[in-house]
Amino acid sequence: MIVLSKTQQQKYNQIVEKLKFKKIRLTDIRNIVIKMLIISDHLTIQEIINNLESEINNINVMSVYNTIDLLLKEHIVFANTFNGKDISYEIAADKSVHLKCDECLKVIHLDDKNIKNYHFLELLDLCEKYNIKLTHFKIEGHGYCLKCSNKEINK
C-alpha cells in the first residue's frame, strides 16, 4: 500500500477532484498510478508496471498505458525524454524545470518552491506576443555536472 505525506495527499486529492469533476472513473490502477507518480519523479512505463505488480496481483498492461494516456490528455502528468529514447512521467506542475548532465545522465528536478524566485518574464512576453495564454511550462537544461566536468578536465 502506498502511503502519502500530508502534502502528497493534498496533491492526490486535487487530482482526484479534477477527474471526478470531469466524470472520469477512478479505477484501482488509476489511483495507484497517480500515487506512484506523486511520490516518485520520472517513472518509465516499465517502472510503473513493475511497481504495480507489487501492489496488485494481476494487472492489465493496457490499462496502465490507457491510464497514462488519460493523465497526459488531462494535463495531470508530463512526459519527459531525457536520453532521447526512454519516456518518463511526472505529475504536472505550473513550472517544470529539469537540469540534465549529458555525461552521467543525472537529472535534477526543480519544483515550484526551488524556482519560485525566477519569473521567466521573457516567456510571458513571448506568449503575449503570439496570443497564447500560458497555463504551464517545461524547461530542460543540458550540460555537465561538476563531477563529470572534473573528469573531462583531468583526462
How far is the C-alpha of 138 from the C-alpha of 140, rounded, in Å? 7
Q: Which three cell numbers stand for residue 113?
A: 518552491
The structure's pTM equals 0.74
**pLDDT of amino acid 141:** 85
Provide CB contacts within 8 A for 86, sequence distance 6+: 44
145 is in an annotated binding site: yes
- Taking 50 as the pLDDT cut, the residues of the chain under it are none
104 is in an annotated binding site: yes
Fold for 93-153, please state it: Dna Ligase; domain 1 (3.30.1490)
Note whether 21 and 74 are within 8 A (CB): no
Where are the domain boundaries for CATH 3.30.1490.190 in the chain? 93-153
Query: Maximum distance among all alpha carbons in the chain?
Result: 59
Nearest-CA neighbor of 90 among 26, 43, 24?
A: 43
148 is in an annotated binding site: yes
Fold for 6-87, please state it: Arc Repressor Mutant, subunit A (1.10.10)
64-108 pLDDT per residue, tens: 999 999 999 998 998 888 777 789 898 887 677 878 888 888 888
Where are the domain boundaries for CATH 1.10.10.10 in the chain? 6-87
How far is the C-alpha of 102 from the C-alpha of 88, rounded, in Å? 16
127 is in an annotated binding site: no
